[in-house]
Amino acid sequence: MHAGKFPQRLLLSGLLACLPLLAQAGEAEIQGVYERSCKACHGTPATGAPQTGDAQAWAPRVAQGADILLDHTIDGYKAMPPMGMCMDCTEDQFLALIEYMSGTSLD
């Protein structure tokens, strides 16, 4: 029996095949945080929050730059609550959430 090496190769190709799935897992995680924390307002026009996917509402906000957007998210801004009610979110997650909602990539 010399078949001992085959399972190892299968394992390696299996891992490589999983890489694109890992990237998708990041998006799914952001989507989950969005649904839990931001959607209540950013998916409800009556709250006055810029709505997810409304590029026009986001354009002047995105124009302020990532630093100001991050400050306003963490400290709160007018009716926007501090941390957007996601107390365990990281700065990277906030930036990803803003990109997700605005449909714009921040530099």
Residues that bind ligand HEC (CB under 6 A): 37-38, 40-42, 47-50, 61, 64, 68-69, 72-73, 77-81, 84-86, 89, 94, 97-98
Q: Pick between residue 10 and residue 40 the one whose CB is nearest to ligand HEC.
A: 40
Q: Shortest distance, CB of residue 14 to ligand HEC, whole angstroms?
A: 35
Q: Pick between residue 2 and residue 107 the one whose CB is nearest to ligand HEC.
A: 107
Q: Which residues of 8-18 are buried (b: 16+ CB within 10 A; e: fewer)?
A: eeeeeeeeeee
**3-state SS record for the chain:** CCHHHHHHHHHHHHHHHHHHHHHHHHHHHHHHHHHHHHHHHHCCHHHCCCCCCCHHHHHHHHCCCHHHHHHHHHHCECCECHHHHCCCCCHHHHHHHHHHHHCCCCC
Residue nearest to ligand HEC (CB): 84
Q: Shortest distance, CB of residue 28 to ligand HEC, whole angstroms?
A: 16
Q: Pick between residue 12 and residue 45 the one whose CB is nearest to ligand HEC.
A: 45
Q: Pick between residue 15 and residue 100 the one whose CB is nearest to ligand HEC.
A: 100
